[in-house]
Structure 1
Amino acid sequence: MEISKVINNNVVLTHDDQGKELVVMGRGLAFKKRPGDQVDTGLVEKTFVLEGEGVSAKLAELLADVSEKYLVLSEKIMTMAAMKLGVKLDDYLYVALTDHLSFAITRYKQGIKLQNALAWEIKKYYRKEYQTALEALTIIEEETGIMMDENEAASIAMHLVNSQVSGEGLESITKVVTTVNDILTIVKYHFNVTLDEESMNYERFLTHLRFFAWRLMKKEQTVEEQTDDFFYQQVERQYPQAFECSGKIAVYIQKELNWTLSKDERIYLTLHIHRVTSRHAMQHSPRG
């Protein structure tokens, strides 16, 4: 096998005899190697076959900043999940779950635990995925020694829902795509920006929107909890542009889909919008 790209000292991109792209991993596998060199098969410890378009490029981008140990952890979780759920999982889950685990585990080590605003809905409407995610927490604890709470299970379940190749009807898929595109258009026009579709922040935003849109299509009503009004008002004051934008989205959803955005959903959407647009603003601001 010939190396097509060196990701780091332990990971390279290559191809098999059928031309399929592979991510190959092993300690010191790429040390002093360049594209065109042969892979030392004796050093190969893990091989990932990636069939999804653009997945290998995204994974290469991610592994430039994130340890490959999180990819190995993701692969263990995905193998278990595919067996438990009895479904094919999209290859992009390698990227999404590796990124998520890296961020979440780092947060936990720092003592930072986040609430998942959609935890109740995930637990109720995606029971199999949620139960599978609870088993994923056991794998994470066995591998890292870190015990995560049910909010993290809900987040992992959300990734499992998004990654399933489930044979949904064409009409539902079309509605989801249209809704996501319309929301993205509202954000772009509100901020008068072209979002960086290659960035990880954009991918995270897209993941949230897809999950959100599927819930709309399936008419999964949100349970309105006693949202902390102080927090809601704080988000409105701290992120006025993003909050105003989420208001436009709320109007669109009410008009087109007859859905009233809850305060929790409005907060969550505002934070996602702020994240994806503030990163864009930083990247395009003039440097002194």
Structure 2
Amino acid sequence: MDVLRVFNNNVVLARDGNREVILTGRGIGFQAKPGQHVDDAKIVRRFVPVDGKDPDHMAQQVAGIPPEIIRLVTDAMNRTGLKEQADDKPSLVMALADHLCGAIQRAQKKQSIEYPLEAEVRSLYPDEYAKGLALVDAMNTYLGGALPRSEAVAFALHLVNAGFSGGDMSATYAMTGVIQQMIAVIESTYDIKLEQDGVNVARFITHLRYLFVRIHQHKQLDDEPQPIIDSIKTSYPRAYQCAKQLAMVVQMRLNVGLTESETAYLALHVSRVAEKAGEPQSK
């Protein structure tokens, strides 16, 4: 591999075959110049930009984070069953490392932070929250218990974001609020209370998360045969009307209209979650 750009003594951008990679390691950039061969012995970690990420911008982010923090995050991810994400999602490693830097600074200053979405994260994203707790515990083995357990909320949201948009956190915050509002609409429509930590609601939320991914990627379902859509409207009129209300929520909150196929598919999930909550579905 040959050096393309030096960002600091510990971070360089290099060419590996036909791709550009970000390499970190103590002294890897010291006195290095573009065109020079990289000292393989100094490579500690490599990041391969994906999803169209700009290598130079990502390298600048990496250069702004102490290498020991990146190593700590990577080790913690490997120890908590997140090795695949650590290898495949460099932007997630960067996001967690950047957040950890701020968390450590707050701990040193004895500052605390409250996360207003804690209840929502616990109920909407239980798997990611559990992994967030595991990350806090793993990191605290290195940090002497400096991180409060509340940081699991932030780590969980970064994990959700990595599987959803891969970009800034605003899309994930928006998704979380919209899911909560959609659940409230179903509860109001059917006069029921959904158990957000239950299996059936978890399945419904999983569907919504995939829906938001399709919206984000501009790949909504739009090929369901019209007779099937008409059958859903006829068989589950209450659920379909509720789904239309949920589509309106999406339109208002995200400025995106749902296709008729997505609305019909959503109606089936509404029918299922309402029925499982004890409300017989009228046909």
What TM-score, normalized by structure 1, do the two folds share? 0.57
Counterpart for residue 33 of structure 1: 32
CA shift, 1:141, in A, is 0.9
CA shift, 1:61, in A, is 2.1
CA shift, 1:151, in A, is 1.8
**Do the aligned partners of residues 89 and 68 (structure 1) sit closer, same or farther apart at CA in structure 2, a change above 3 Å counting?**
same
CA contact (8 A) 2:77 2:83 kept: no
Q: How does 1:206-285 map to 2 (within 5 A)?
A: 206-217=168-179, 219-220=182-183, 257=249
CA shift, 1:73, in A, is 2.3
Counterpart for residue 75 of structure 2: 76
Kindly report the root-mean-square deviation, in angstroms, between the aligned alpha carbons of the 2 structures: 3.4
Counterpart for residue 6 of structure 1: 6
Whole-Å separation in 2 of the counterparts to 1:105 and 1:76: 17
CA shift, 1:24, in A, is 1.5
CA contact (8 A) 1:90 1:164 kept: no
- Pick the structure with greater CA Rg: 2
CA shift, 1:50, in A, is 2.8
Counterpart for residue 115 of structure 1: 114
CA contact (8 A) 2:6 2:13 kept: yes
Counterpart for residue 98 of structure 1: 97
CA shift, 1:53, in A, is 1.8
Deviations 1:150-176 (A, max 9, x none): 3210110000011016xxxxxxx9xxx
Aligned residues: 191
**Unmatched segments (≥5 aa) in structure 2:** 185-245, 254-283
Whole-Å separation in 1 of the counterparts to 2:19 and 2:78: 20
CA contact (8 A) 1:85 1:128 kept: no
CA contact (8 A) 1:137 1:153 kept: yes
Whole-Å separation in 1 of the counterparts to 2:163 and 2:81: 9
CA shift, 1:256, in A, is 5.3
CA shift, 1:35, in A, is 1.8
CA shift, 1:111, in A, is 0.7
CA shift, 1:101, in A, is 1.0
Counterpart for residue 128 of structure 2: 129
Runs of 4+ in structure 1 displaced over 6 angstroms? 84-89, 258-261
Whole-Å separation in 2 of the counterparts to 1:28 and 1:87: 23
**Do the aligned partners of residues 98 and 59 (structure 1) sit closer, same or farther apart at CA in structure 2, a change above 3 Å counting?**
farther
Q: How does 1:145-184 map to 2 (within 5 A)?
A: 145-164=144-163
CA contact (8 A) 1:74 1:98 kept: yes
**Do the aligned partners of residues 42 and 65 (structure 1) sit closer, same or farther apart at CA in structure 2, a change above 3 Å counting?**
closer
SS in 2 for 1:150: coil
**Do the aligned partners of residues 48 and 90 (structure 1) sit closer, same or farther apart at CA in structure 2, a change above 3 Å counting?**
closer
CA shift, 1:82, in A, is 5.6
Counterpart for residue 185 of structure 1: none
SS in 2 for 1:106: helix
CA shift, 1:108, in A, is 0.9
**Do the aligned partners of residues 78 and 57 (structure 1) sit closer, same or farther apart at CA in structure 2, a change above 3 Å counting?**
farther
Deviations 1:66-124 (A, max 9, x none): 21222222323444556499999643212221211111111111111100010111011
SS in 1 for 2:114: coil
**Do the aligned partners of residues 98 and 105 (structure 1) sit closer, same or farther apart at CA in structure 2, a change above 3 Å counting?**
same
Whole-Å separation in 2 of the counterparts to 1:87 and 1:33: 27
What TM-score, normalized by structure 2, do the two folds share? 0.58
**Do the aligned partners of residues 22 and 79 (structure 1) sit closer, same or farther apart at CA in structure 2, a change above 3 Å counting?**
farther
AA partner of residue 216 (structure 1): V
**Do the aligned partners of residues 217 and 134 (structure 1) sit closer, same or farther apart at CA in structure 2, a change above 3 Å counting?**
closer
Percent identity over the alignment is: 25
Whole-Å separation in 2 of the counterparts to 1:70 and 1:82: 19
SS in 2 for 1:50: coil
SS in 2 for 1:117: coil
Deviations 1:249-274 (A, max 9, x none): xxxxx99528999xxxxxxxxxxxxx
Whole-Å separation in 2 of the counterparts to 1:39 and 1:56: 17
SS in 2 for 1:133: helix
Whole-Å separation in 1 of the counterparts to 2:40 and 2:147: 36
